[in-house]
Structures are given as C-alpha cells and as structure tokens.
Structure 1
Amino acid sequence: MSDAESALPSDLDRNAVQTALVEWYEADHRDFPWRRTDDPYEILVSEVMSQQTQLGRVVDAWEAFLDEWPTVSDLAAADRADVVAFWTSHSLGYNNRAKYLHEAAQQVVEDHDGEYPQTPDGLSELMGVGPYTANAVASFAFNNGDAVVDTNVKRVLHRAFAVPDDDSVFETAASELMPEGKSRVWNNAIMELGGVACGKTPSCDESGCPWRQFCHAYETGDFTAPDVPTQPKFEGSRRQMRGRVVRILGEYDELGLDELGPRVRVDYGGENGREWLRGLVDDLATDGLVTVDDDEDEVRVSLAR
C-alpha cells in the first residue's frame, strides 16, 4: 500500500513507533501467567476466560482450571458437566464457552493428534474459536498471527494517529504498524498500551506512554475515541438466570421444575413460573448444557453428561 493509500500519517516514522512501543513493553508490563507460556492450550483457555471478564479475576480461575485439566488431552477426556460446573463456580460468564472449550479440546485430540493448528484459519475451525481468538492464539503461541484489533487497539490508533472510526481502516492501520514476524510481542504490547496508558481516561505521563511524541491526542488535548460497547445489565438478566440453573443443578442429581424454580428466583410463580422456567431449561438443553426428562407426571432437569 502506498503512503497515499495508507491509513497512517504520511510523515510517521514507523520504525521509531515500533521500537518505542516494544521497548516500553519489554521494560515493564503486567505479569499475567499466560504471558509466560507459548502453550496453545493454556493460551486458548486464557483467551476464552478473558472474554468480558476482568483479567485480574481470570488469573485464579486459569490456574485452577489448569490444575484440574493440565493438558488438552485431560480436558478432552473430562466430563463436560464438570467443566461447565467449574465455569459457573468461578463466575466466568456464558457457560457455552466452557462447552465449546471442551469440544475444541476433543477436536484437537481426535482430529489433530493432540496438536493445535498454528494459523488463524486453522484455529478458527475449532469449536467456539472466532477470528479474534484464533488470531490471538496464533500470535501468542506460534508468533504467527495478524495484527490484533480490539476495542483497546482501536482507541489507541484513533487517538495516536487520528485513524477514522471504521473497522476496515483500523485493520489496515494495525497491519501497517505491526513489524513483520513479531505478532507475539507486538500484539501483547499494543493491547498493554490500550489497557494501561490509553484507557477511557488516559494516563499518558503517569504510564510513560511511549507514543506521546507521535500522538495526535497528546498534542491537541482531544482524547475522544470510538464508543466502547456497554455490557448488558447482568442483575436479573436471562444470562444470570441461566447461570443459576446450571449452578443449582451442579448441587443436585436432578430436580423437578417446581423444585428448581424457587431456587432460581425468589419470585418464582406467575409470569416467572413454569412456562418461563421451561423456556429457560429448553434453551440450556439446546445448548447441550442440561438434560430435560419430560414424562407424563413431571418434568425433571439435570446437568448434561
């Protein structure tokens, strides 16, 4: 791509920008344990756990998960109900992620002889692994990824180099900036910059941002950035109720609907009664998380095994 078509300022010294960021990152960064490994299994677990969960809360869950299932073969051989119960007990969000992580492990063992694919395209064929996660694992495990573009990276590029708020332009700018063959350190570094120095409220000087001398926002004082999607309200949400059902069923072999209902919500009855609960457990059954035994006398629900 020519400078005329570039998503970055034509006078930008890309080598200087790259060197400044990598040196800043390597001198000091947050020491998450998954940054000390290149094991694709361990990295995939961290990536799936980190989706919409604060990284500080992920550390304990990640270490406990790997204590329970140290290798991809261990996870593939595990009882899915145990994996889902672990996910729920550690408040890691959507239980489908646990199901998909388990299924992906089985794919790796059965279809790939226990070895993870090393490219974003290959990793994307695993259950529940989307383009972003596939690229992250390819980058951090195999140093073989493309430039990561997440909310933090968009914020950094928009502020630092006045990149327009357009997904395709962000992807072009990110790709132009990443040094060839350096996806592991680069993607870690630019996400660290967005997480530590260039958050919604920037801390440019306090964090020693390495891009201050290049940064449009730092020069102009205009730190606006693309909107960050807001998390849907969790309290009282269907997502919260699904999690409660799975957690409660983890404590019992099985329950009837009217035994389960009051344990899920104190206002069970009326519009939040049997019809509502049946719809909830049917959704969970469709996702492969619970089993619904519908006989003539009573509907019984248990965790899928």
Structure 2
Amino acid sequence: MTAEAQEWALPDDCEAVRDALIAWYEDDHREFPWRRTDDPYAILVSEVMSQQTQLGRVVEAWEEFLEQWPTTAELAAADRAAVVGFWTDHSLGYNNRAKYLHEAAQQVETEYAGDFPDTPTELQELMGVGPYTANAVASFAFNDGDAVVDTNVKRVLYRFAEIHNADNPPYEEVANALMPDGQSRVWNNAIMELGGVACQKTPRCDEEECPWRKWCHAYQTGDFTAPDVPTQPSFEGSRRQFRGRIVRVLGEHDELALDDLGPRVRVDYAPDGKHGQEWLRDLVLDLADDGLVDVVDQNDGKTVVRLQR
C-alpha cells in the first residue's frame, strides 16, 4: 500500500458497511432499464449515452436506439449517417461517440465473431471505449470489474473515508478496498446510486436514509466538503450545437456547398461575416477529422460537404 493510501482507513466493521449499502440499494433504487439487463451491448450503449446526458433523458433514447438496432450485428450493418443522425436528433453529445459506437459494433462482429469481449483489457480494444467505460461494462454485464469511480463516487468517498488532507486522494484504492469480492455489479450500482441520490453536492443524508451515516466522517463532523465538480459548458450556442446542426442538415441532402449549408445552420450566416465561411469551414473540418463528413474543394472554387456513409 502506498504512503498516500495510509492516510485513510476503513471502519473496523467493514462487512457491516458493505451489507448496509447493498441492502439500502436493493430495498429501493431508481429503476433505469439498463440495470435490468446483463447484455454487454445494451450496457455499452447506456454508458456511452450517459457520458454527457442526464440519466432521465437517456432512458427514452436508449430504448429507441435498441429498438432500432437491437444487436451489434444490426448496428454494424446500419448506415453510419443514420446512427449519427439518431445521436444528433436526441441531443446525446458529441457525434463522434455515435461513430465510435458504430465502429465498436463492427469490431465485435468482425474481430470477435459476434461475442462481446468480457474483460476490461479486451473491452478497451473497442473503438471509443476507455478504461472507465470498459470497467463499467465488465462490472455490469459480467460482474467482473474493479470499483467504478465516477464523480458521484469520488464525492461519496471523499466525505466517507476522511481523505480530505491527501493532496491526491487515492479514490481507486479506497473504492476497491471497500468493494466486496465478486459483487462488482451490485456494488458499483449501489455506490453510484448513493452518490446520485443521497450524497449529492447538497447532501440529503437523512431524507434519503443514507446507510453510511453511522460511519461517515462528513456526517459525524458536519464537514460536507467535496471535490470540485466540473460543470458542463452550455450547449446553446456551442460548437457542439452547430456541429450537430451540420450533421442533421447534411442528413437531409446528398451534399451542400458551404454557402448553401451556412444559412441552414445559423440564421445570421454571412459568407464574409464573423459567422461565415471561415467559421463554418473550421467546423466541417473538425467533423472531417472525426470521420463524420467529407470536405471537397472543387475546381470552381466551391467547397462541398457531404456526410460519410
């Protein structure tokens, strides 16, 4: 154990701590549909969708996505423009995540013969799947992951385990020490639920009957300090918003020249203005780098943009 890790200690009755959280979760928790499946594909879709979208809004999009493409085989065979268009229509964040999800489905079909990889290491070989998502899928689909540490879990651990004075709080070490062996599925769901419901930025310890009040450093001392939580930049007027509009417009046309695309993306478009060709070219080249569109400079001096399919 590292020197940093020695700055914290778990309660002596750690089994009681674990049992209390699992019992609290199993007694009453938010009913998200992906919690009722162990299908790794469905869970991966939920994890990717949840990266920038509130969980309540993800439910409808997740159900509609799986109704349209219920298996990796059907998603792999889909037109990528249709997948990206779905993402845009449901305001699910950066469109390249739709592209990566599509490519990941193709990898499962071509490289794994349709059988989903089941370890965090193998899952990270899928396009767009980083360590956090890989571990989440391994935990929730195969009950074989490490402790998941997201923003909510960090807040719980920071308050519970008295690691306030550590320069670099060892969240992963504390989380894995707490998690009972062989129970990553229920445990990770439970501790994330605790952070999302009871141990919010403004805590609701008594209102939500937090099961850890007996052991929690913050509850005992009244010091509910928590690590800074990054705020999501406003979507309105953002590059994300206009990237999404470009994809949506191009989904309705085979191709468009910049000056035909511009007014459809923003009403104040003017070729030589602040939001003109230079501004629009920067956005479409960004989308081209993500493999979402093709940008073609023609001999007549016009620049034409089309969705990659």
Q: TM-score, normalised by structure 1?
A: 0.96
Which runs of 5 or more structure 1 residues have no equivalent in the other structure? none
- In structure 2, what is the equivalent of residue 132 of structure 1? 132
Write the mapping of 1:111-126 to structure 2, written as runs, cut at 5 A: 111-126=111-126
Distance, in Å, in 2 between the alignment partners of 1:258 and 1:153 is: 48
1:253 paired to 2:257: no
- In structure 2, what is the equivalent of residue 237 of structure 1? 238
- In structure 2, what is the equivalent of residue 289 of structure 1? 292
Asked if the contact 2:11/2:215 (under 8 Å) is kept, the reply is no
Asked if the contact 1:4/1:10 (under 8 Å) is kept, the reply is no
- In the TM superposition, what is the alpha-carbon distance from 1:163 to its structure 2 partner? 2.1
Mean CA deviation greater in 10-19 or 90-99: 10-19
Root-mean-square deviation (Å): 1.7
- In structure 1, what is the equivalent of residue 225 of structure 2? 224
Distance, in Å, in 1 between the alignment partners of 2:110 and 2:168 is: 36
Write the mapping of 1:168-247 to structure 2, written as runs, cut at 5 A: 169-247=170-248
- Output one character per residue of 1:173-216: Cα deviation in whole Å (capped at 9) or x when no partner: 00100001110000000000000000111111110100010111
- In structure 1, what is the equivalent of residue 308 of structure 2? 304
Distance, in Å, in 2 between the alignment partners of 1:125 and 1:87 is: 23
Asked if the contact 2:5/2:170 (under 8 Å) is kept, the reply is no
Distance, in Å, in 1 between the alignment partners of 2:5 and 2:286 is: 48
Asked if the contact 2:163/2:169 (under 8 Å) is kept, the reply is no
- In the TM superposition, what is the alpha-carbon distance from 1:166 to its structure 2 partner? 5.5
Letter of the 1:295 counterpart: Q
Aligned in 2, Cα 1:245/1:14: closer, same or farther, shift over 3 Å? same
Distance, in Å, in 2 between the alignment partners of 1:4 and 1:21 is: 26
- In structure 1, what is the equivalent of residue 279 of structure 2? 276
Asked if the contact 2:4/2:170 (under 8 Å) is kept, the reply is no
Identity of aligned residues (%): 71
Asked if the contact 1:3/1:10 (under 8 Å) is kept, the reply is no
Asked if the contact 1:21/1:211 (under 8 Å) is kept, the reply is yes
Aligned in 2, Cα 1:6/1:116: closer, same or farther, shift over 3 Å? farther
Aligned in 2, Cα 1:2/1:303: closer, same or farther, shift over 3 Å? closer
Distance, in Å, in 2 between the alignment partners of 1:99 and 1:4 is: 40
- In structure 2, what is the equivalent of residue 77 of structure 1? 77
- In the TM superposition, what is the alpha-carbon distance from 1:234 to its structure 2 partner? 2.2
Asked if the contact 1:7/1:172 (under 8 Å) is kept, the reply is no
Distance, in Å, in 2 between the alignment partners of 1:150 and 1:170 is: 10
Asked if the contact 2:5/2:173 (under 8 Å) is kept, the reply is no
- Counting matched residue pairs gives 305
- In structure 2, what is the equivalent of residue 37 of structure 1? 37
Q: TM-score, normalised by structure 2?
A: 0.95
